[in-house]
Every structure is written in structure tokens, then in C-alpha cells.
Amino acid sequence: MRFACDTGGTFTDLIVEDDAGGLHMYKAATTPADPVKGVLDALALAAADMEMSLADLLAKGDMLIHGTTHAINAIITGNTAKTAFLTTAGHPDILVLREGGRIEPFNFVAPYPEPYLPRALTFEVPERIDSAGGVHTALDEAAVIAIAEELKAQDVEAVAVCLLWSIYNSTHELRVGELLEAHLPGVPYSLSHQLNPALREYRRASSTAIDASLKPLMGRYLGGLTERLTEAGFMGRTLVLTSQGGMLDASDLAQKPIHAINSGPSMAPIAGRHYARDDSDAPNVIIADTGGTTYDVSLVRQGRIPLTKETWIGQPFRGHMTGFPSIDIKSVGAGGGSIAWVDAGGLLHVGPQSAGAVPGPVCYGSGGTEPTLTDACLTLGYVDPDYFLGGTMQLDAGAAAQVVEDKVAQPLNISVMDAAAAIVSVATENMVQAIADITVNQGIDPADSVLIGGGGAAGLNSVFIARRLGCPTLLIPETGAGLSAAGALMSDLTNEYRATFFTTSGEFDRAGVNRVLEGLRAQCQVFIDGPGSGAASNDIEYTVEARYASQVWEIEVPLANDTFTDDAQLAALVEGFHAMHEQIFAIRDPGSVIEFVGWTATARCRLRAGDGGRLGAGADRSVSGSRKVYFSGAGEAEAVLHDFETMASGVEHQGPAIIESPFTTVVADADTSFQRTAAGSLLMRP
């Protein structure tokens, strides 16, 4: 038995895979002050549903896979550890100067952003490695010891070390680490060449600073998670999801917690790719995961999930760059809990503020006072107040309508229904723009794509989103309400190893490249033989970061081989680069020399054979009849009711209709046809 748990901003999603491969889904309210409690609450719901105690359920578990927002929340709220930054003498402003760039070049009111670590906790280490890896200035060990004593006096909780050109010669960074262990025992530290051996000093320094600042916090959190699970009866393996779409053992992730920043959302495209393969032949897949707080958009392009290094925490150039490739996810403040408000000029906005899990939408009756998207959908009749979360939570439809009237309808001088419909329309437009941004930026036409609607609130307006985008097909998977948790069950145990080695297509250093690839392969094999031992299957994927000569930025190109023995392999790599460059930028330059900069090997261990089972049907509710709903521009309509879990596959239906499950509600207007597929998804044609 396996458990996959994703802690979101409003709900904690749990999917249990039983010993026969069947899936069972549960949702519990997230407890922001104690996220582990939300995990245990969801597990308790599963235990009650299976008519056993929590201890008995956990005792049957072989594995618990956990996605968490704990790391990103700590950064956003400023609850990271007091961290010092050690860098080469003469270069103390790496985190201050960054890489330049402004999102508003003529806005002179916006203050210059603060560095991730304060300048007062930046210390210069007398040493210097040159760009060829030679020692220009020897390391002053006495100075490092003096810095360590100062850090001890200031009660520093973590240390980030990023010395110039340590990616070519790491001896000085390693020695600094040894001195910190000797003179600052028990204080965690991160070395840049071990964590992120990549060019571009700011990105390497920023990732090291973020990683070090998270180590005490995530060490306590993951340690507490495993300890409390053990106390509750779980004796299996605890894994945590990573930003790269894989997972690591909790103890390993605690050593490099930066990989947990986009832990949960990274699983949605994993699940989306799986469901699209079952029910669509579209070349590209758009995955939209609608939570209570955010709307997360990602892509699958020609079967591959794109990664990006332009990952910022906060606004680009004003926030902080992680410096790591992660699944390209665009998030906007639009979800079921997004607050609707009217500004002083009489314009309606939805988000980015969210009611979150506490106090939640007004209809939850938990103290919320502002109208949300969920309140609007309840007012429009889309949501059954008596069947929210399968009837375990009663919604207050009267309170929802009243707050929409007071805060939106009256200021805009329109009816309550028109106000609620306007809230849905504005939220839809925000979501459409998020999808348009990420698709157009990568040369993808939504009309050639299938849209996957994931998240508990996805079904409320995904039909409207698909129609606005021109997507001919919308898929709502049967586990869509817990899409990230479902993706966790499909993910692999992965680890990534990187090295910097410069060569060109004109003077290709075959021996040097083979030496680098051999080193990366050896590191992958250690991982496969260690944490990956006993896996159903494993493989190693290789990529290279390359660019045309004189270009500034690289693109990632897959390697078809792990060693270069003849010119044909180099020719295939060169053609692969040209093709990738043309796909992204619509141009190729076959006459230019190609520069190869960074090499990556990713070890993937599939812990379980097969793609998992189907979601078991709940009790037959014998849903029939209809209820009145309100559509913008069409007015009131009678929507036929369907039960998602017990719908027969292959039967074509026409809207207006409401398709309900215990975890989601899907709205189909009069122009939409839909059917349940053999794989269990709801296939809709807007």
C-alpha cells in the first residue's frame, strides 16, 4: 500500500493505492500552523473509510510520498534561518547586484530589492581560484577561522559558501567546509560547487544561500514528519517530491532542501502527461491545476516536460532566483479561495489575495468575510451546498449570496447573479492569460493542444477557459481533484548530477567530454545502487546546455549517447541543437559554431512497475434530475445532474449539465458535449 499526499494552501490531498492497485482519494483541510496535522487528518479519513484504525492503515503502508509548500512558505514569510554568506574577497555584492534586469524600467518609485541574505552577514574570504582552475591566491585559513568565531558570536544558524570558480577547482570551498565543521560544529552549511556546479555567479550564489537558509527549518520539518508518522504506526519509506518532477528520500532532501521549493505543483504535469496519453493524440498538453489559492499552469511538449532555469521566488528581478532547473510552472493568484473586490474606480478584480484555508470562503462558515470564487459559484448554482466534499462539509449558500451582493453587486449596481457571473468571468480571464503567457512564450498554439483540468476547483470554469483559448478538447481526470497527489504515485525516484566543461563543435574535446560523462555516470550509478536499489527499473538520461557562439544563454539538448566515439555522434548532437533552437526560436544557424557548456546526468529509478490503477467508484448516489444554474450571457438554465464516479463510459451527453463527485464539480454549458472515457476521464468538447 502506498500513500501520496500533497499539502496545498486550502486542502491537503491524499491518494491511497491499495495492494490491488486501486486508488482512493481523500481531502482534509490544510492546517497552516502545523502542516503535518493536515497529512495525519487526511490519513485518518482514509482509515475511517476503510474501517480500520489509523495505526492499522499506516502499518500496511510501504511508502508515503509527500509534496509540501513548507519551504516556499518559509521564504515568502521570512521564516528561514539566520544565514551567513561567505564569498571570495573583493566580491561581497553578488547577492546585491544580481544579474540586472527590470520589469518596469521607467518606474523609479519601486525600491531596489533587498538581497536574499543581509549584507551585514556577508563575509569575504581571502582566496582566489582563476577561471582555468589554478590557485591565484592561496586560502587564508586563519581568516576563515576568525570568520567562524564571528559567526558563532552572532548565533548564525546556517552558512552558504560560494567562492569564485569553485566549479573548476573546489579545493578552497572544501577546505572552508572542513574549517566550518571544526570551528562551528552542528551548524549546517552549503557549498556551491556541490549544490549547483554551474556558470553564472549570482545564480550559483543565490541557490546556495537559499539552500543553506532552509536546512535547519526543513531538517526539523521532515524529521518531525517522519517522527510523527512513525509514532502513528507508519514503518515504511518517506519520500518527498522535488521541483524537477521526481522524488527523494526525506533524509536526502533535508540535505538539499532547495529542491522542495516547488514540491507539490511539479507533479501535476507528470499526471497530466499520463492522462493525455490515454485519451488524446494532441501533440501538446496544457495542465491547469486550480487550487484554493493559486492557479498553476504547466506544459507537456511533444511528450517532454519543459524545464526552466528562470525560476524566481517572487517577481522576476525583484525576487530571488533559485538557480536550478525546475519544471516550468506559471502560478497566478487565482483559485477557489481568491477574493473578489471592487477598486475605487469601480473595476472588479479577483485575487491575488486569497481566503486560503483559514478563514476560507464565506460559505465555509469559518469566519471569512470577503467574497471568493467559490462563493460566486455556489451563488450561481454550480456547487451543491449539501454535497461539498461528498457531503462532509455543509456550505452556507445564503451567506455566499449575501456577501456577493454586499461587496460586489451593490458597488457595481448590478444583480447578484450578474455579479457572481462577473466574478467567474474575471477569474477565467486571469487564468486564460496565465495559459497564454506560458504557451505563446514557447511557441505553442492552444488550438493544437489538449487542456487538462486539475484541482478541486478546476471543473467550475475549465470549459470557459478552453473555449477562450480555442482548445478543442478538455480532459478532467478522475483523480483531477488531487492531480498533484496522483502524479506523485506516477513519479520516479530521481537525482541530478551536473558538471561544467566548455568545448565547441569546431574543436570538440572528445576525451574531455567522455571524462565528464563518465564521472556523471559513476555518480548516477552510486545513487541507483543506493537509494534506488530494488527499483523495478532504472535508467540514466543525459543532456547538454549549448548555445551558438557569442550567444549569452544556453538551451538544453538531450544526448542520445553517454559517450562519444565517432564523428557521427557529434553530427547528431549538432543537428539536435539546431532543431531544438529552431523549435524554440523559429530560427537555425547551421553556419555558426556551437558552444557546449554544462553537462547533466539524471538517474531515474521507477519504484513500481506499471502506471497504477483506477479510482474506485464510491457509493451510487442515484443522481437524477436537474437544478437551476446561471450562465453569463445566457441567464438561468436547467442543468441535468450526473454522477462522475458512476457515469457509463462512451455515452455522449450534451450540456447544460453539472457533473458531480465527492471532490469536484464540473460545469458544462449548453454548447458543450461530454462523455466518460474508458480510462475514466471526463472528455469535454467546448
Residue 622 has pLDDT above 70, yes or no: no
Q: Decide: residue 639, CB within 10 A, 0-12 exposed, 13-18 middle, 19+ buried.
A: buried
3-state secondary structure 438-486: HHHCCCCCHHHEEEEEECCCHHHCHHHHHHHHCCCEEEECCCHHHHHHH
Q: Answer yes or no: are the C-beta atoms of 123 and 150 closer than 8 Å.
A: yes
Residue 74 has pLDDT above 90, yes or no: no
Helix (H) or strand (E) holding 574: helix 567-585
d(CA 358, CA 337): 10
Mean pLDDT for the stretch of residues 516-524: 96
From 381, 380, 367, 290, select the one nearest 336 (Cα to Cα).
290
Give the residues across from 665 on adjacent strands: 660
List for the chain the helix, strand, coil content (%; round to 5). Answer: 35, 25, 40
Q: Is the peptide bond before 188 cis (omega within 30 degrees of 0)?
A: no
Mean pLDDT for the stretch of residues 49-55: 92
Mean pLDDT for the stretch of residues 680-684: 92
Query: What is the second-level CATH architecture of the domain 493-606?
Result: 2-Layer Sandwich (3.30)
Q: What does pTM read for this prediction?
A: 0.85
User: Between residues 29 and 370, which one has the greater pLDDT?
Assistant: 370
| pLDDT at site 79 | 86
Confidence of residue 621 (pLDDT cuts 50, 70, 90): low
| pLDDT at site 618 | 58
d(CA 133, CA 168): 5
State how beta strands 635-643 and 626-631 pair: antiparallel
pLDDT in tens, 236-252: 999 999 988 889 999 99
Q: Does 2-75+218-260 carry CATH code 3.40.50.10420?
A: no
d(CA 454, CA 478): 9
d(CA 502, CA 89): 26
Q: What is the DSSP code string of 59-122?
A: HT-SEEEEE--HHHHHHHHT-S--EEEEEETT-TTHHHHTT---SSTT--SSPPPPPSS-GGGE
Confidence of residue 267 (pLDDT cuts 50, 70, 90): confident
3-state secondary structure 534-569: CCCEEEEEEEEEEEECCCCCCEEEEECCCCCCCHHH
Grid coordinates representing 487? 502524479
Grid coordinates representing 259? 529542491
Residue 272 has pLDDT above 60, yes or no: yes
Residues contacting 170, CB < 8 A, separation 6+? 191, 193, 194
pLDDT in tens, 371-410: 999 999 999 999 999 888 878 889 999 999 999 999 999 9
| pLDDT at site 307 | 79
Eight-state DSSP code of residue 384 = -
How many CB atoms lie under 10 A from the CB of residue 656?
Answer: 18
